[in-house]
Homo-oligomer: A and B are copies of this chain.
Amino acid sequence: MTTTDGPTPFRKRLDRLTAHRGALCVGIDPHPPLLARWGLRDDVDGLEHFARGLVEAIGDRVAVFKPQVAFFESYGAAGMAVLERVLDDIRAVGALSIADAKRGDIGSTMAGYARAWLSDGSPLRADAMTLSPFLGFESLRPALDAAAATGRGVYVLARTSNPEGHGVQLSADADGRPVSQRIIDEAQAENLRTGLDHVGLVLGATHRDLGCDPGAVTGSLLVPGIGAQGGTMDGVRASFGPAVARVLPSVSRDVLNAGPDAAALAERVTRLLTS
């Protein structure tokens, strides 16, 4: 499907940018021990110095930043105001943002979250957001439609990197399909229906056996767990099959621990992009 008007789809913007800057997503995870490591206080000022300093240091060489919303929400409305400024900074340096919010709800409530993160007028607007499908893939409809309409993207949790996820994610639906595979299939049906490939998936890099097959997915695959959590790109190649071409590796601690020195942060990013 081709359209001649409307906003440039997220997937196209992502492909263009990763072709230039390389396929790497850097998580912005200002948790208290990391603030301390950077010599910053555990308060709103420390939060702002950390997050905006990181984007300033490496924003011209990283394709995608993934602010972890929880660490801003921790400081209440003042923390969310910092996140608004961080999202502005990410736009200003020409990178893309994925708000790692893992929101999931139904009906008008889901529409409220879509409005927060995926609408043009919102101060919290990002280029994409993560979604949690516990209430069913179709419950995410308002966010899927908002992303499609505004040239944004979503990443739906399918198989997360943590060991406790399997109880839900590998359970079998009425057709005997693992929940994670069901989510993958529903996401891909949506990509085929719209032709936009705006629906990506979150798949952890830490599993020897993924328990599901993302091979046919044409959306972007956000893959945390490489590095500090023990996942490797070789492991991802083995378990993702042909879908490895659509993998966007997400790294947090392996970059953030190099800060606050800007040159050290930049060097770490360069090393990851050439490894």
A-side interface residues, number (CB < 8 Å): 59
Q: Select A136's contact among B116, B133, B165, beta carbons within 8 Å.
A: B165
Asked if A128 CB lies within 8 Å of chain B CBs, one says: no
CB-CB under 8 A from A97, the residues of chain B are none
Contact with B along A168-191 (1 / 0, CB 8 A): 111111100001001000000000
Identify which of A12-20, A68-76, A212-220, A232-240 touches chain B. A68-76
User: In chain B, what residue has the closest Cβ to A117?
Assistant: B73
Residue of A105, A160, A166 with most chain B CB atoms under a 10 A cut-off:
A105
Is A135 close to B, CB under 8 A?
yes
Cβ contact within 8 Å between B116 and A76: yes
Copy tally for this chain in the complex stands at 2
Whether A138 and B164, one on each chain, are in contact in the complex, defined by CB atoms closer than 8 angstroms, is yes
Mark out the residues of chain A between 78 and 126 whose CB falls within 8 Å of any chain B CB in the assembled complex. 78, 80-81, 83-84, 100, 102-113, 115-116, 122-124
Compute how far the CA of A222 lies from the CA of B116 in the bound complex, rounded to whole angstroms. 26
Does A37 count as interface, using CB distance less than 8 angstroms?
A: no
B residues less than 8 Å from A169 (CB atoms):
134, 136
Contacting residues, chain B, for A132 (C-beta < 8 A): 102, 104, 132, 134-135
Chain B proximity of A175: nearest CB distance (Å): 10
Tell whether, in the assembled complex, residue A135 and residue B164 are in contact, meaning their CB atoms are under 8 Å apart: yes
Please tell me if the beta carbons of B77 and A112 are within 8 angstroms of each other in the complex: no
Give chain B residues whose Cβ lies under 8 Å from the Cβ of A71. 109, 112
Contact B160 A68 (CB under 8 A): no
Q: Indicate whether A137 reaches chain B with its CB closer than 8 angstroms.
A: yes
A157 at the interface (CB under 8 A from B): yes
Q: Which A18-72 residues have C-beta < 8 A from chain B?
A: 29, 31, 33, 68, 70-71
Residues of chain B within 8 A (CB-CB) of A81 are 76-77
Question: With A103-B102, A168-B179, A171-B171 given, is the CB distance from A70 to B123 under 8 Å?
Answer: no
Residues of A within 8 A of B (CB): 29, 31, 33, 68, 70-71, 73-78, 80-81, 83-84, 100, 102-113, 115-116, 122-124, 132-139, 157, 160-162, 164-174, 179, 182
